[in-house]
Amino acid sequence: MMQTKKSYKKLLAFMGPAYLVSLGDIDSGNWATDIAEVSGTAIGLNLIFSYSNYIWGTNTGFDTLLLLLLDRLGVRKMEAFILCLIAIIGISFLYKNNYFKT
């Protein structure tokens, strides 16, 4: 009988957080936020590089999938990838500022 009570306590300890996480996945607001992030990135890159929003939206989608893959391989690899993206952004701004003198 004592073992059964401990099992139920363990089960109840995980049910609350699991329920909250499952609601977060079901919530359609998360999808709207994701779509807004992809759209915002595509528009921002379009303003910088003057290519089609479709190209940048597709690029952002691939970046997101790559981040999910790197998350499975470890935090350090994901952090290195994000650092590379930040470096690309910085180099792009420097190039754009030097190429188009205002």
Query: Could you report the per-residue pLDDT of 51-83, keeping only the tens digit for each?
Result: 887 888 888 888 778 878 888 888 888 788 888
State the sign of the Cα–Cα–Cα–Cα dihedral 24, 25, 29, 30. Answer: positive
Supply the pLDDT for residue 24. 55
Supply the pLDDT for residue 82. 81
**CA atoms of 33 and 3, how far apart (whole Å):** 44
Average pLDDT over residues 1-27: 61
Chain Cα centroid distance, residue 24: 15
Supply the pLDDT for residue 4. 60
Residue 48 burial (CB count, 10 A): 14
Query: Among residues of the chain, what percentage have pLDDT more than 90?
Result: 1
